[in-house]
A = this chain, B = another copy of it.
């Protein structure tokens, strides 16, 4: 790195890789030097960077409020996470450091925040959730702060959102399969699906977990026969629609749906049909 300007014997200005000015200080750093000369790195004691204006300064200030030990602990969590999630983007540093800072602050003030998505996260992002649990242990050891289990879910979400591949592919596959099933329901049941209804929401929640079970090759155990017969007899149109979906899924090389899955799907389709028709 070359000297750009001499301030005095112990202080010079250089430009970093982004061509931003930096003040570098150290004993004798500027002594008998001229602009263009190389900086003697061994003499550097302090580096000052140009302060950002306005909002950028606010962001820096927010970061500076975070204690070093939280930053260090977050780094350890990220090292651990990278062993299992190799495509983790560097941005996870910002989100996790910020999250731990806030979570620990809340904990120390005795404020608890429930995570209503905890169970969903556990099912949809099992690997990230496990890392979340590990993180809580690590934070407890290093910072002497036992965060509630709800935080494992929040950590898992941050990890899931900071990945560039891997998880994202499964997420998108689930999403695609859900769209295909919705399209079959629209065509077979002759209904317009109103996305803003609770009924629609409950149906897509069911589909989401059905798709997740299919992709992870899980299946619901056999349901009870009484309910199954009732669905088949009382709601033939919904049952047939469920059968069409089942065939579509099989044709796309997914595992075959169990009878229980088809039954619950039929039940859900019928409920959706009733609600949307009203």
A-B contact pairs, 17 of them (CB 8 A): A7-B11, A49-B51, A52-B64, A55-B75, A60-B63, A62-B94, A63-B63, A91-B98, A91-B101, A111-B168, A113-B161, A114-B171, A116-B174, A116-B175, A119-B200, A221-B278, A226-B234
Q: Is A144 an interface residue (CB 8 A)?
A: no
Instruction: With CB as the reference atom, state the residue of chain B lying closest to A48.
Output: B48
Q: Is A104 an interface residue (CB 8 A)?
A: no
CA–CA, A220 to B48, complex, Å? 62
Give the chain B neighbours of A89 by CB distance below 8 A.
Answer: 102
B113 touches A172 (CB 8 A): yes
Q: Is A192 an interface residue (CB 8 A)?
A: no
A144 to chain B, nearest CB (A): 20
A55 touches B171 (CB 8 A): no
Interface of A: prevailing SS = helix
A209 touches B202 (CB 8 A): yes
B91 touches A171 (CB 8 A): no
Q: Which of A174-191 contact B (CB under 8 A)?
A: 174-175
A50 touches B48 (CB 8 A): yes
Stretch touching chain B among A120-128, A135-143, A247-255: A120-128
A152 to chain B, nearest CB (A): 13
CA–CA, A174 to B202, complex, Å? 18
CA–CA, A7 to B8, complex, Å? 6
Binary contact readout A193-217 vs B (1 if CB under 8 angstroms, 0 otherwise) = 0000010111011001100010000
Give the chain B neighbours of A198 by CB distance below 8 A.
Answer: 123, 209, 213, 218, 220
For the complex with contacts A48-B49, A59-B97, A198-B220, 6 further pairs of A-B residues with Cβ separation under 8 Å are: A46-B51, A63-B94, A89-B102, A91-B98, A116-B124, A123-B201
With A22-B51, A230-B230 already in contact, the answer to whether A172 and B71 are too (CB < 8 A) is no
A71 touches B59 (CB 8 A): yes
Q: Is A146 an interface residue (CB 8 A)?
A: no
CA–CA, A112 to B112, complex, Å? 33
Give the chain B neighbours of A230 by CB distance below 8 A.
Answer: 226-227, 230
